[in-house]
Amino acid sequence: MIVRNLEDARKGERLVKTRGWDSTRLLLAGDKMGFSFHITRIFADSVNTFEYKHHFESVYCISGEGTIEDHTTGEIHEIRPGVMYALDKHDRHTLRTKPGQEMVMACCFNPPVTGNEVHREDGSYAPMPETV
């Protein structure tokens, strides 16, 4: 059994912080669960473009509001507490917070991340062989 406390994890190496967001990685590849699980904060007034070419991601909004734009279709969806989205086609997307609001998201990645990843210039994480 694995038991971790979010606040404790935020005080150590499990917190990855960059411009626009931070992510506390509660489960990683080394935990051998087949996926990773993160609590990610999207900072207020930020615009973030991502494209996980080597990972699938599902995201559940815990708090805050914003939008997600699908770059393939141009569709824009409202994100608010209780809304989930899944990037089942490695979708390039842009997350925007509503003015003055931080969004807190619960995220799962498959394959799992190792814990050291940061977004590359194209908005993706490196594939597993490059990050292990």
Domain boundaries, the chain: 15-113
Mean pLDDT within 22-35: 96
**Alpha-carbon distances, residue 92 vs 23, 29, 46, 106 (angstroms):** 19, 23, 17, 19
pTM here is 0.88
Residues linked to residue 58 through DSSP beta bridges, in sequence order: 86, 108
Mean pLDDT within 15-37: 95
pLDDT at 115: 80
User: What is the homologous superfamily of the domain 15-113 according to CATH?
Assistant: Jelly Rolls (2.60.120.10)
pLDDT digits (tens, 9 = 90+) for 38-75: 999 999 999 999 998 888 999 999 999 999 999 999 99
pLDDT digits (tens, 9 = 90+) for 116-127: 766 667 656 666
